[in-house]
Amino acid sequence: MTVVLVVDDDAAIRRTLGITLRARGYEVEPVADGRSALQSLAEQEPDVVVLDLGLPDLDGIEVLRRIRATSSVPVVVLSARQESDDKVEALDLGADDYVTKPFGMEELLARLRAAMRRAGAPVETVRAGDLVIDVDDRTVTRAGEAVHLTPTEWRLLEVLVRADGRLVRQATLLHDVWGPEYERETHYLRVYLAQLRRKLEADASRPEHLLTDPGLGYRFVP
């Protein structure tokens, strides 16, 4: 279970993030101030931290400094302020990303995933037979040979690999790879799955990793 430490003095944001993240399958530890954040960091060992810079007790920048004194956990910073001074300082101190309020929930989720990805969280490289998929580097090798994927092919593979063997519905794939207005264009999936199979499977007509659930979606199994 992936644990997210949410540090924000605004109760509405703590709850919004809490509910949203839990709905996506994360475990959430919400705290309201810097002191509690540092305490939770030590006790819970979260996989990623969401940190609001505007805190009542300690300055958010100071909290980040102390986090970095003891931990390399990925940190995504939230700030209401427009000035880029904080941003530069936060990134200098080792924040992994920076989101300005008001922010879209999907955007924040994407940044969190990206931060964890870069930090080498759960899925970093996946081995499947003679395939090696390095999610950080965006590289794929097959039997030692580098495989070239186009941007769209890669995004599709990434979504499937991150699902970790579970079914991903057609509408979800289309939404995540092509955008919300493409959710009914299943033709794309057929074309791109075929291309991925041709590049990744030993026998594209008998796929071992990129499997179809007819009428539902696709799944990647190592």
Partner DNA sequence: GCCGGGCGTCAAGATCGCGTCAAGAGCCGT
Partner DNA sequence: ACGGCTCTTGACGCGATCTTGACGCCCGGC
Give the interface with a second copy as residue ranges (CB under 8 A).
Answer: 11-13, 15-16, 19-20, 22-23, 84, 87-89, 91-92, 95-97, 102, 104, 106-107, 111, 114, 118, 138, 151, 169, 171-172, 175, 180, 183, 214-216
- For residue 56, whether the previous peptide bond is cis, meaning omega lies within 30 degrees of 0, is no
Minimal distance, residue 104 CB to DNA, in Å: 15
CB of 42 to a second copy, least distance (A): 25
The closest of 167, 76, 163 to 126, measured between CA atoms, is 163
* Residue 125 binds: one of DNA, a second copy, none (C-beta under 5 to 8 A by kind): none
Scanning 7-15, 57-65, 77-85, 196-204 for contacts with DNA by CB under 7 A, the matching segment is 196-204
Q: Does 70 bind DNA (CB under 7 A)?
A: no
Q: Residue 117 binds which one of DNA, a second copy, none, with CB within 5 to 8 A depending on kind?
A: none
Taking the complex as a whole, the smallest distance from the CB of residue 204 to DNA amounts, in Å, to 5
Q: How far apart are CA 210 and CA 200, in angstroms?
A: 9
Closest CA to 60 of 114, 121, 10: 10
Q: Which long-range contacts (CB under 8 A, 24 or more apart) does 78-85 make?
A: 78/8, 78/13, 78/50, 78/51, 78/52, 78/53, 78/103, 79/52, 79/53, 79/54, 80/54, 81/53, 81/54
Which pairs with CB-CB distance under 8 Å and at least 24 residues apart come from 101-108?
A: 103/78, 105/16, 105/20, 108/17, 108/50, 108/76
Out of 22, 81, 138, 198, point to the residue binding DNA (CB under 7 A): 198
Q: Give the one entry of a second copy, DNA, none that residue 186 binds, where binding means its C-beta sits below a cut-off of 5 to 8 angstroms depending on kind.
A: DNA
Q: Does 106 bind DNA (CB under 7 A)?
A: no
β partners of residue 87? none
Q: If binding is defined by CB under 7 A, does position 82 make contact with DNA?
A: no
Q: Per-residue x/- marks for DNA, 111-150, CB under 7 A?
A: -------------------------------------x-x
Give 3 or 18: the residue with its C-beta nearer to a second copy: 18
**CB neighbour list of residue 154: distance below 8 Å, 6 or more residues apart:** 138
